[in-house]
Amino acid sequence: MGMNERIRKIRKEFDLTQQEFSRRIGTTANVLTNYETGRRNPSASVINNICKTFNINEKWLRDGEGEMFLPASSFSFDEFLQQHDADELEAAILRAYFELPTTQRKEVLSSLLQIANKCRSVSPDF
């Protein structure tokens, strides 16, 4: 299996479209298509973005050696909220948001973007 197939495997593992995956790694769907078909090789920075974004073992991505995923980190959402001085309301909003199914979270984000765009039309500095 080449790197192009491993990139596709990562995308499919997370059940993402090429558009969604490319956005998360900071490229375009057309460029991702070239990576997945083997027409182009990703730069070191793209490889780094893939590994950091999806917790992928870089050695596996580059050479197919080792496990696909790195060991899970000990991230604590509560510690994250505390480090960012989130008050009770902020913490409750964030928890409620992440408890929503992915499709509903996308709808919430879409609505928030519509609100932000309307605000920009009233106040361009927003």
Give the dihedral sign, CA 53/55/59/61: negative
The residues, ordered by sequence, that sit 6+ positions from 91 with a Cβ below 8 Å of its Cβ are: 81
Residue 88 has a pLDDT of 94
CA distance 84 to 29: 33
Residue 126 has a pLDDT of 63
Q: Which residue(s) pair with 56 in the sheet?
A: 69
Q: 42 near 51, Cβ under 8 Å?
A: no
* Residues in the chain where the model's pLDDT stays below 50: none
pTM of the model: 0.60
Q: Which two tokens stand for residue 107?
A: 């709808």
Side-chain-side CA neighbours of 26 within 13 Å: the count stands at 13
CA distance 123 to 104: 28
Phi, psi of 56 (to 5 degrees): -100, 140
